[in-house]
């Protein structure tokens, strides 16, 4: 009785291990198939890649640069009109690139163009952005940027009108009207 039981168990183990082997082998092929599907195009493009001679490579980069410049012209990337850099709406200046690079990664340049402040006011705005909005320390760029902002985005003088001069005053005669 005991032996018979043992025999049955062995038969079961054998079938099970064959079953597992079949599963493993199938899994292997499935993974292989997916891998091939995934990598087919990179493998093909690597195998069939065009190998450029150094001369062709130089030409390739030259053409790429020409294409880039043409595209920039199309996009009006660097166009300046009446002293205004059209793409950003900021005043054109030697330090404009620095300002664009430092100040337009988080918000539109329009936010700068529509504000006016003294140098101190601009410094305070930058400080506020550093303390609350994660603006990094500007290091050596800060005085240059502040000069730029204070030069082009300073408050305009809007004092009161001039005093009136040479006025012919007249006496208002209320009795007639009543």
Residue numbers at the binding site for ligand HEC (CB under 6 A): 102-103, 105-107, 111-112, 115, 125-126, 129, 133-135, 145, 149
CB 114 to ligand HEC: min, Å = 8
Residue nearer to ligand HEC on the CB measure, 96 or 126:
126
Is the CB of 74 or the CB of 131 nearer to ligand HEC? 131
- CA distances for 48 relative to 38, 45, 163, angstroms: 17, 5, 83
Minimum Å gap between C-beta 71 and ligand HEC is 26
Would you say 95 or 102 has its CB closer to ligand HEC? Answer: 102
Per the DSSP assignment, residues forming a β-bridge with 80 are 85
CB of 73 to ligand HEC, least distance (A): 27
Shortest CB 84 distance to ligand HEC, Å: 17
Measure the CA–CA gap between 175 and 167, rounded to whole angstroms.
Answer: 24
How far apart CA 4 and CA 14 sit, in angstroms, is 16
Q: In terms of CB distance, is 9 or 151 closer to ligand HEC? A: 151
> At closest approach, how far in Å is the CB of 126 from ligand HEC?
5
Contact indicator for 100, 90 with CB cutoff of 8 Å: yes
Rounded distance between C-alpha atoms, residue 38 and residue 40, angstroms: 6
* Cβ contact 156:116 at 8 Å: yes
Question: Residues 68, 80: contact at Cβ < 8 Å?
Answer: no
**Angle (CA) 176 177 178, round 5°:** 95
- Which of 78/123 has CB closer to ligand HEC? 123
């Amino acid at each position: 009785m005991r032996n018979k039981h043992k025999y049955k168990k062995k038969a079961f183990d054998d079938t099970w291990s064959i079953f597992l082997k079949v599963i493993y082998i199938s899994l292997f092929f499935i993974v292989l198939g997916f891998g091939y599907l995934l990598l087919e195009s990179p493998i093909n493009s690597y195998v069939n890649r065009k190998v450029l001679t150094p001369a062709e490579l130089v030409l390739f980069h030259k053409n790429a640069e020409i294409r880039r410049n043409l595209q920039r012209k199309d996009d009006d990337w660097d166009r300046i009109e009446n002293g205004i850099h059209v793409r950003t709406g900021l005043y054109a200046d030697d330090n404009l690139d620095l300002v664009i690079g430092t100040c337009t990664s988080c918000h539109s340049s329009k936010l700068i163009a529509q504000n006016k402040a003294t140098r101190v006011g601009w410094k305070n705005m930058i400080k506020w952005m550093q303390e609350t909005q994660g603006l990094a320390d500007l290091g050596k760029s800060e005085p240059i940027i502040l000069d730029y902002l204070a030069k082009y985005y300073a408050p305009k003088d809007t004092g009161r009108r001039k005093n009136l001069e040479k006025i012919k005053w007249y006496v208002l005669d209320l009795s007639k009207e009543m």
